[in-house]
Structure 1
Amino acid sequence: MKNNLFKKLSSGLLITALIATAFVGCGNSSADAGEEVKDASVEAGAAAADSNAGFRTLDEIKESGTINIGVFSDKSPFGYVDENGEYAGYDVYFAERIGEDLGVEINYVSTEAANRIEYLQTGKVDIILANFTVTEERAQEVDFALPYMNVALGVVSPSDAVIESLDDIGEDDQVIVISGTTAETYLTKNYPDIKLQKYDAYAEAKTAFENGNGVAWANDNTEVIAFAIENEGYTVGIPELGDQDTIAPAVTKGNETLLNWLNEELDTLGDENFFHADYEATLLDTYGADYEDTLVVEQ
C-alpha cells in the first residue's frame, strides 16, 4: 500500500514538473516554475505524512509482534520504574496480561498526563494505560474501553493545616495540580478563583508539594491517599471531590478492532477476578484490604 502511494505521489510530482516546464516555455520565468515544483513537493510530503498518521489495527499489531503501551513511569503504585529499572504497578500488571494474550512483546512508552491523548492521536502508542479517567470531553478525542477501576478526586494537605473544604483555601493560596488531569479541569471549571500551581509530571508535583509550594495538592483520590499513607505529616482532608469516575484503557479514535478486542479481554478477565488479583499484587501494601472492593472494577 505504501509503495502504491509512493508511486502515485512520484507520478504526481513528475506531472507537476512537466507542467511547470511547459509554463516556462510559454513565457513564465524559471523562478515561477521552480516555486510551483517546490509547492507540489511540499503538498506531496504533507500527503505522505498524513497517510502514515493514525493507528495500527489489531492484525497489524499482531503481525509486527510488538504493542506500544503508554504508562506512567513515576506514579507509584500504578505505573513506575522499580529499583531494577523495570516497569511495575497496577496498570503495568494489566499491560503484561494484554501482551501475553495477544502473543506480542510490549514496548512501554513513558507517558505524562498532558500527552496521553497526543500520543494516541500521533500513533506513538497503541493503548494508553496511565490511570486515564473517562470523561465526556476525552471521549470525543479517544475511544475508551470498559473500565477496570473506580476513582474520584481528592485533596491532601499538611496535617498541621488540613484543608477539609475548598472554602478553606484563601484567595492568595495555591493548590498544586498536574496539567492534563481531571483535577485541573474540575477546579478550573468549578472554582476558577482558586489559584493553581501546575506541573507536567507527578514527580515534579510531589517534590513541589513536599517543599511547601502550595497549601494542598488535588489529584485522583487514589494518588493522594497513597501519598498520605507513605509520607508522614500529611492528611487527606477531602477524600472525595466531584463525581465518582472510572479508569479505562484508551485507544485512538476509530480503532475498532483493537477496542473490540480490549472489551472482550476485559470481559474474560472479569470472569477470573483478574483485577482483584492485580490489586492484591500491586496495591494491597499501599491501600490495605479495606479499599479493594471500592476501587476494583470487574466486568
Structure 2
Amino acid sequence: MVTLKGLIKLTLAAATVFTLAQAAMADTLADIKARGRILVAIDLGAPPYGMLDGNAQPSGSDVEAAQALAKDLGVELEIVPVTGPNRVPFLLTSKADIVMASFSITDERKKVIDYSTPYGVVPTVVGGPAGEAIADFAALSGKTVAVTRGTTSDAALTKGADAAGGLEIVRYEDDATTNTAISTGQQDYIAAAASVIKQVNIANPSRNVEIKFVMTTAPYAIGLRQGETELKSWLDQWVSANIASGNLNTIYEKHFGIPLPAEYQAKK
C-alpha cells in the first residue's frame, strides 16, 4: 500500500523526471533566434583570447570570433564575462548559451558538456631574441631556456631537451617570475604559451622576443550543453565554413602572430 507520504514522494519524483525531460528537449538554437541575442561566455582576462582594449572595450581572438559567429547567426552578441574555473558552471546553469574562452578539449569536461569542431589551438612555443636562427630543440644546444615549473610548456620542453640534449632548463615557480626573467634580460629564451611572447614584448619592447618554433598544440572549441543537437550542428557547420573562408585563420594570426596549423586552414 502506498502511503500519503509515499505518494507525495512519487509525485515529486515524477515531476522531477518530467522537468528533466523538458530540459533535455530544450532547443537553445531556437531560443537564441527567438531572443535575437546570443550569450557567449568569454574570459576577458586572458589575452590575447579575451581582454579589454584601451577604451575598455572587449577585444581579442575569441571576441572577434564570437562577433563573427553572432553576425552569421543574425543575432546580437552579449558577452558574459567568465574566468577559467567558472566556464563550465556558467554553461551548465544557462548563464551562457555557449563558451568561447580558449576552451581546450579535455576528457574530463566531455563528461558534462559537448564541444563543437575545434576552431583553434593553444600553442606552446619557444621564444627568443629576434635574429637568432633557432628552428628546433637541437639549435638550442648550449643555451638556457626559462619555463614555469609543472606547466604543459615544462613537459614539452623537458621532452624536447631529453631528445636533443645540450640545453639547460631554468624553472621558475610561477608565470609572472618566468616572464619577468625574460623581459628584464635575466634569460634570453623562454618556453611558454604563444600569447606570453606578446606580453613580454609589451612589458619591455626593447627585448624584441619572437616565436622561434612551436613545441605542441592543444585544440580548443566552442563549449555547449549536452543534448543540443541543433545548436551543435549549426556550430560545427559555422566552424567549417569559417575555416574554409580563411576567416578564423585571419583572426588567429592577427592576435598570435603565427598562422593556425595546416589542418585548421583553408584547403588550397
TM-score (norm 1): 0.58
Shift of 1:153: 3.6
Residue 152 (structure 1) aligned with residue 123 (structure 2): yes
> What pairs up with 1:1-299 in 2 under 5 angstroms?
57-153=28-124, 164=145, 175=149, 183=152, 206=176, 221-232=193-204, 243-279=216-252, 282-283=254-255, 287=257, 291-294=258-261, 297-298=264-265
Residues 148-168 of structure 1: CA deviation (Å, up to 9, x unaligned) = 2233345889xxxx96377xx
**Where do 5+ consecutive residues of structure 1 fail to align?**
1-18, 21-36, 167-173, 178-182, 199-204
- Cα distance in 1, alignment partners of residues 248 and 191 from structure 2: 22
Which is richer in helix?
Answer: 1
CA drift at 1:263: 0.7
Aligned-partner Cα distance in 2 for 1:88–1:151? 18
Q: Does the Cα contact within 8 Å between 1:81 and 1:87 map onto a contact in 2?
A: yes
Q: Does the 8 Å contact 1:148/1:296 carry over to 2?
A: no
Tell me the amino acid that sits aligned with residue 135 of structure 1. Answer: T
Task: Look up the SS of the partner of 1:260 in the other structure.
Answer: helix
What's the TM-score, normalizing by structure 2?
Answer: 0.64
CA offset at residue 255 of structure 1?
Answer: 1.4
Question: Given that residues 41 and 96 in structure 2 are in contact (C-alpha distance below 8 angstroms), is that contact kept between their aligned partners in structure 1?
Answer: yes
Aligned partners of 2:173, 2:223: CA distance in 1, in Å? Answer: 27
Give 1:57 deviation, angstroms: 1.8
- Deviation at residue 257 of structure 1 after TM alignment: 1.1
Change in Cα spacing, 1:257 to 1:66, as seen in structure 2 (3 Å) is same
Report the Cα distance in structure 2 between the residues aligned to 1:50 and 1:71, rounded to whole angstroms: 27
1:235-256, Cα deviation, whole Å (9 max, x unpaired) = 7999656x53212111112211
Whose radius of gyration is greater, 1 or 2? 1
Whole-angstrom distance in 2 between the partners of 1:210 and 1:165: 9
Instruction: Assess if the C-alpha contact under 8 Å between 1:69 and 1:95 holds in 2.
Output: yes
Residue by residue over 1:119-160, the C-alpha shift from the partner in whole angstroms, topping out at 9 and shown as x without a partner, is: 211211111111111222222222111122233345889xxx
Output the amino acid matched with 2:230: T
Contact residue 151 and residue 222 of structure 1 kept, 8 A: yes
2:122–2:194 Cα contact (<8 Å) kept: yes
What is the Cα deviation at residue 197 of structure 1?
A: 6.5
CA contact (8 A) 1:68 1:125 kept: yes
Distance change >3 Å, CA 247–CA 142, structure 1 → 2: same
Identity among equivalent pairs (%)? 22
Q: Deviations over 1:183-208 (max 9, x none)?
A: 49x79xx9xxxx9968xxxxxx65x7
Note the residue ranges of structure 2 that are not aligned, 5 or more in a row.
129-142, 160-170
Contact in 1 for aligned 2:146/2:191 (Cα 8 Å) = no
Q: Please give the root-mean-square deviation of Cα atoms over the aligned residues, in Å.
A: 4.5
**Any idea what SS the aligned residue of 2:234 has?**
helix
Deviates more, 1:129-138 or 1:43-52: 43-52
